[in-house]
């Protein structure tokens, strides 16, 4: 009986279940003794809530941190990053250096964002500074592009004005909270199309911070040509790149989008072979060929930098429960000056596969994740040091290892700025060899 | 000795003739006139001074590049009395075969035209023109009904024709001998064998560094990669075509590739070139060709479904539609065994004065044609430059992959080279495949016709195409 890991999952996806079964693990229900539970975000909330008084034992591991929403809710992420920046500024850290316009040199990676209705007045002030700008409204608690719309006039968000007498459903409950961010209207276009980057990052512990980045991220392209014209504001196809929206399609009426997901309808434009996705390697090849090697390397370094900084920002408030690990889906947009912007972080990146390639990728992602989180596939002991040997990393590479970094001396911290190779910092390993063999499709 | 000299002077005369009509000539003239203002130009030594000036200012290099370019493209005249057909293709039976193949294609095109009652060409009404102009950058979103269109031919049809190619002067006899061709291609063309290939491709030898192999991360970059990149930057700074061609035989670093290819193909984006492209675009807007629908269909079938190239769908339309209207492409028919198909104004069949080339560039696209352009989109994102590069690649290399000729880079030779190499060096594999009814050429043919585009990952494909440019030959495809 000993030795077989017992697993439970709320999420019935084949990429998960196949991975569990191939390790010879045994499926159980949540009421029984389990070792590994792949939870949905709703479950993690109840498991760790004070009412239930749940206690995880040493041989139990779950796939979320209790308060992951500090990173994965749009408003809290921004709040934490703002707080982190102010702290660094206060302690005089060179990372918090600003330029002559008051913009952070190294920590300006989130588009200007405000909470609504709380920061409504601040937002209005900012909006009036550049009245021709477009802003994007996102509900804090939803995913997959639901409820998102664009505005370019104050009248479109009158409801959220705090002292509006006409608003009948301004509620102070967090469910109705929105964030409003400056819309990046100069995204980098490839073939005239807008895209965003989805990168997977695995965090095994926050203090000390140890995180891994999956090498096989991908770009998600819009099916329709991007034009920054205001008449196109209603066409959410163009602006949103979530695969969920691209798949089901949304027709906008002016202003708000009333969008209801239609589970199994297929949009004709949606391609079943490539799913509108490119590998990050393709992106790299394209950028190196058209823009040059230095700027491309700088871009990728910056992307790694902003991921690490975002994790560092939430590390102090994260409940670093030793039973937890988490695999995040980072959404990043690159603008036409090759500057990356962090748009959001997902706690439950989609495990649905849109194409065959996709299925393989997600299967491997889970496989490598499990190899790191549950060493040797044996019954876990959450007291282990969470330092897996290099061989099990698979397609992950170490993004940042705080312990190793600190071991190299405190002055490494100062040198770890974007634009410099992440080599000396934290034992980040080089690509473990690109394939030398011919890659046939 | 005398023969060589007279050959040389003939070549020089031809090149001078060609360059005189080019833009470079006008520019050089202008530069020479302008240089008279300069203090170092003295009347007594006018010729030498101007030459010196050209050398320093880089104009001599440009002239060198242009000459080199002409030499690479234009075949050397074999005999002053040779008729022009010989320049296209010296072997009669090949010419005949190409001719009948072309007739077939044209027939197929005409019958599709009649069936669907669509004219080969028509002028667009003004409303439609405006619409197209607006949609120019996103033609991919158009969803015209293409279900009735079929590609005019696919590589496998072409393969059948090649298999049936026979030299009437060559009697193989029924008995098996060492001269029997065990493969599909039955014509006795001279192809290089391994020792000759080794000599030809000397830079690809095991002892010479290569990009694509020696820059993988197990090898420290100091050994080869860094030096190679440095040399590449130097070559670009010098702007020397011939040096670039030599350099690229070992592969090109990704960041330098776009410029190197432009240098080797002698393409610089002059205002005239951009203007020319815009003019082609206007042609597209004003007239609609049947061939356009074939292009649409091809892109939708091939590139749109490709993992790497679907992103560039719109660029492909922009390049290919303009390409089919580009009459300057007709120039390559002088040294290609193919001839542009002719079409006659309605009702005037057979009357030469009413004949036009159709499509205007003489090239009828087949299934997979758009894949020639697709990999280039990774290098050039400016449509007119992308267009120029593609056009040059086509008239130098790609046309040989779908016309019947005896040229060593022609598809027939490539097939034969492939089969011979396989037979000689992997006889067991060859024999086994033959036994199970899978002639190896049937598998590899489509790879070669497309120059591996769509079959190899893009980064490796580009390394392969580096070598095509470097050696000015397609033989590497067979190797």
**Residue of chain B whose alpha carbon sits nearest to that of A219:** B311
Contact pairs from chain A to chain B, CB under 8 Å: 91
* A191 vs B255, B311, B456: nearest CB: B311
Q: How confident is the model at residue A427 (pLDDT cuts 50, 70, 90)?
A: very low
Q: How confident is the model at residue A412 (pLDDT cuts 50, 70, 90)?
A: very low
Selected residues 225-284 of chain B with any CB under 8 Å from a CB in chain A: 253-255, 257-258
Token pair, residue B254, equals 């990704």
The stretch A399-405 carries a mean pLDDT of 83
> Which residues lie closer than 8 Å to B206 by C-beta, 6 or more apart?
none
Instruction: Quote the pLDDT of residue B74.
Output: 63
Instruction: Quote the pLDDT of residue A424.
Output: 32
Instruction: Quote the pLDDT of residue A201.
Output: 92
* Most confident of the following: A144-148, B231-235, B438-442: B231-235
Q: Is there a contact between B308 and A276 if contact means CB atoms under 8 Å apart?
A: no
Token pair, residue B233, equals 């930057």
Q: Which residues of B touch A433 (CB under 8 A)?
A: 216-218
Residue B147 near chain A (CB below 8 Å): no
Please classify residue B168 by burial: count the beta carbons closer than 10 Å to its beta carbon, then call 0-12 exposed, 13-18 middle and 19+ buried: exposed
Q: How far is A120 from chain B (nearest CA, A)?
A: 38
Q: Per residue in B398-439, pLDDT tens?
A: 888 888 877 777 788 788 788 877 777 787 887 787 777 777
Instruction: Quote the pLDDT of residue A334.
Output: 92
Q: Is there a contact between A268 and B143 if contact means CB atoms under 8 Å apart?
A: yes
Instruction: Quote the pLDDT of residue B187.
Output: 64
Whether pLDDT at A318 is above 80 = yes
Phi then psi for A366, rounded to 5 degrees? -65, -40
Q: Which residues of B touch A191 (CB under 8 A)?
A: 311-315, 377
Q: Which residues of A touch B305 (CB under 8 A)?
A: 271, 273-274
Q: Which residues of B touch A269 (CB under 8 A)?
A: 141
The stretch A244-256 carries a mean pLDDT of 35
Q: How confident is the model at residue B134 (pLDDT cuts 50, 70, 90)?
A: confident
CB B409 within 8 A of CB B397: yes
The stretch B94-113 carries a mean pLDDT of 82
Q: Which residues of A touch B143 (CB under 8 A)?
A: 268
Q: Is there a contact between A276 and B257 if contact means CB atoms under 8 Å apart?
A: no
B427-435 vs B411-425: helix crossing angle, rounded to 10:
110
Q: Per residue in A180-206, pLDDT tens?
A: 888 888 888 888 888 889 999 999 888
Instruction: Quote the pLDDT of residue B93.
Output: 77
Instruction: Quote the pLDDT of residue A256.
Output: 21
Q: Is there a contact between A289 and B255 if contact means CB atoms under 8 Å apart?
A: yes
* A274 vs B141, B310, B380: nearest CB: B310
Q: How confident is the model at residue A425 (pLDDT cuts 50, 70, 90)?
A: very low
Q: How confident is the model at residue A269 (pLDDT cuts 50, 70, 90)?
A: very low
Instruction: Quote the pLDDT of residue A359.
Output: 85
**Residue of chain B whose alpha carbon sits nearest to that of A280:** B308
CB B233 within 8 A of CB A294: no
Q: Per residue in A111-143, pLDDT tens?
A: 888 888 788 888 888 888 887 888 888 887 766
CB B297 within 8 A of CB B149: yes
* A441 vs B314, B378, B455: nearest CB: B455
Q: Is there a contact between A289 and B257 if contact means CB atoms under 8 Å apart?
A: yes
% of chain B exceeding 90 in pLDDT:
1
Q: Per residue in A133-179, pLDDT tens?
A: 888 888 877 666 677 788 877 777 777 765 544 444 444 444 467 88
Whether pLDDT at A390 is above 60 = yes
Q: Is there a contact between A271 and B304 if contact means CB atoms under 8 Å apart?
A: yes
> Does A257 or B399 have the greater pLDDT score?
B399
Instruction: Quote the pLDDT of residue B192.
Output: 63
Token pair, residue A262, equals 């239609």
Instruction: Quote the pLDDT of residue A306.
Output: 92
Q: Per residue in B444-475, pLDDT tens?
A: 888 888 888 888 888 888 888 888 888 877 77
Instruction: Quote the pLDDT of residue B158.
Output: 82
Mean pLDDT across chain A: 74
Residue B160 near chain A (CB below 8 Å): no
Instruction: Quote the pLDDT of residue B34.
Output: 75
Distance (Å, whole) CA A219 – CA A331? 10
Q: Per residue in A61-120, pLDDT tens?
A: 888 888 888 888 888 888 899 899 888 888 888 887 888 777 787 888 888 888 887 888
DSSP run (H or E) holding A189: strand A189-190
Give the count of beta carbons closer than 10 Å to the beta carbon of residue B87: 17
Q: Per residue in B302-359, pLDDT tens?
A: 888 888 888 888 888 889 988 888 888 887 787 777 777 777 665 555 555 666 777 7
Phi then psi for B14, rounded to 5 degrees? -60, -45
Q: Per residue in A351-363, pLDDT tens?
A: 887 788 888 888 8
Instruction: Quote the pLDDT of residue A28.
Output: 85
């Amino acid at each position: 009986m000993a030795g077989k890991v017992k697993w439970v999952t709320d999420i019935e996806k084949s990429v998960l279940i196949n991975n569990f079964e191939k390790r010879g693990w045994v499926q159980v229900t949540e009421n029984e003794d389990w070792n590994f539970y792949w939870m949905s975000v709703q479950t993690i909330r109840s498991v760790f809530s004070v009412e239930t008084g749940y206690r995880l034992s040493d041989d139990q591991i779950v796939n979320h941190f209790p308060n992951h929403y500090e990173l994965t809710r749009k408003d809290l992420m921004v709040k934490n990053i703002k707080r982190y920046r102010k702290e660094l500024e206060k302690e005089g850290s060179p990372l918090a250096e600003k330029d002559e316009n008051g913009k952070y040199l190294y920590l300006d990676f989130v588009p200007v964002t405000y909470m609504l209705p709380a920061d409504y007045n601040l937002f209005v002030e900012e909006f009036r500074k550049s009245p021709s700008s477009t802003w994007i409204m996102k509900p804090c608690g939803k995913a997959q592009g639901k409820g998102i719309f664009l505005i370019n006039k104050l009248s479109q968000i009158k409801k959220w004005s705090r002292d509006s007498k006409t608003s009948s459903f301004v509620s102070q409950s967090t469910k109705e909270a929105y964030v409003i961010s400056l819309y990046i209207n100069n995204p980098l276009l490839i073939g005239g199309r807008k895209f965003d980057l989805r990168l997977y990052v695995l965090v095994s512990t926050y203090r000390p911070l140890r995180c891994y980045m999956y090498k096989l991220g991908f770009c998600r392209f819009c099916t329709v040509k991007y034009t920054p014209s205001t008449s196109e504001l209603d066409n959410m196809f163009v602006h949103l790149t979530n695969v969920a929206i691209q798949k089901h399609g949304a027709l906008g009426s002016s202003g708000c989008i009333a969008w209801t997901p239609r589970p199994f309808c297929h949009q004709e434009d949606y391609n079943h072979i490539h799913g509108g996705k490119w590998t990050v390697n393709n992106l790299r090849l394209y950028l190196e060929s058209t823009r040059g090697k230095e700027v491309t390397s700088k871009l990728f370094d910056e992307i790694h930098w902003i991921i690490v900084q975002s994790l560092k920002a939430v590390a102090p408030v994260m409940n670093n429960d030793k039973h937890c690990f988490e695999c995040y889906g980072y959404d990043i947009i690159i603008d036409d000056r090759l500057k990356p912007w962090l748009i959001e972080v997902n706690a439950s990146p989609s495990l649905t596969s849109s194409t065959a390639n996709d299925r393989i990728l997600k299967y491997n992602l889970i496989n490598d994740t499990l190899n790191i989180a549950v060493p040797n596939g044996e019954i876990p002991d959450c007291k282990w040091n969470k330092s897996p040997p290099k061989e099990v990393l698979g397609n992950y590479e170490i993004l940042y290892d705080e312990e190793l970094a600190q071991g190299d001396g405190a002055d490494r911290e100062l040198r770890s700025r974007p634009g410099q190779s992440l080599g000396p910092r934290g034992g980040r390993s080089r690509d473990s060899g690109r394939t030398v063999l011919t890659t046939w499709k | 000795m005398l023969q060589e000299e007279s050959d040389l002077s003939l070549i020089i005369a031809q090149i001078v003739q060609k360059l005189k009509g080019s833009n470079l000539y006008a520019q050089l003239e202008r530069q020479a006139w302008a240089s008279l203002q300069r203090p170092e130009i003295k009347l007594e030594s006018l010729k030498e001074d101007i030459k010196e000036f050209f050398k320093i200012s880089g104009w001599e290099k440009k002239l060198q590049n242009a000459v080199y370019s002409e030499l690479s493209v234009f075949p050397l005249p074999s005999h002053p009395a040779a008729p022009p057909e010989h320049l296209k293709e010296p072997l009669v039976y090949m010419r005949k075969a190409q001719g009948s193949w072309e007739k077939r294609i044209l027939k197929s095109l005409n019958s599709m035209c009649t069936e669907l009652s669509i004219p080969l060409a028509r002028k667009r009404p003004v409303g439609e023109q405006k619409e197209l102009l607006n949609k120019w950058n996103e033609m991919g979103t158009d969803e015209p009904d293409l279900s009735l269109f079929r590609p005019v031919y696919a590589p496998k049809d072409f393969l059948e024709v090649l298999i049936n190619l026979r030299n009437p002067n060559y009697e193989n006899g029924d008995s098996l001998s060492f001269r029997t061709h065990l493969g599909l291609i039955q014509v006795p063309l001279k192809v290089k064998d391994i020792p000759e290939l080794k000599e030809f491709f000397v830079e690809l030898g095991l002892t010479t560094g290569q990009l694509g192999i020696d820059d993988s991360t197990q090898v420290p970059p100091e050994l080869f990669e860094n030096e190679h990149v440095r040399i590449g930057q130097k070559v670009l700074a010098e702007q020397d075509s011939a040096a670039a061609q030599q350099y690229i035989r070992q592969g090109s670093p990704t960041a330098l590739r776009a410029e190197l290819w432009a240098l080797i193909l002698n393409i610089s984006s002059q205002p005239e070139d951009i203007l020319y492209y815009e003019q082609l675009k206007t042609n597209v807007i004003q007239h609609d060709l049947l061939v356009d629908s074939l292009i649409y269909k091809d892109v939708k079938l091939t590139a749109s479904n490709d993992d790497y190239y679907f992103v560039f769908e719109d660029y492909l339309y922009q390049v290919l539609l303009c390409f089919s209207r580009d009459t300057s492409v007709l120039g390559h028919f002088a040294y290609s065994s193919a001839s542009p198909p002719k079409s006659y104004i309605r009702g005037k069949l057979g009357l030469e004065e009413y004949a036009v080339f159709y499509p205007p560039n003489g090239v009828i696209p087949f299934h997979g044609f758009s894949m020639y352009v697709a990999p280039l989109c990774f290098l050039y994102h400016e449509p007119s430059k992308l267009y120029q590069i593609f056009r040059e690649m086509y008239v130098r290399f790609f046309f040989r992959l779908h016309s019947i000729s005896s040229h060593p880079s022609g598809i027939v030779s490539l097939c034969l080279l492939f089969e011979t190499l396989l037979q000689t060096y992997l006889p067991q594999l060859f024999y086994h495949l033959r036994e199970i009814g899978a002639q190896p050429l049937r598998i590899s043919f489509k790879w070669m016709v497309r120059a591996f585009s769509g079959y190899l990952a893009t980064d490796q494909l580009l390394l392969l195409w580096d070598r095509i440019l470097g050696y000015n030959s397609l033989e590497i495809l067979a190797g």
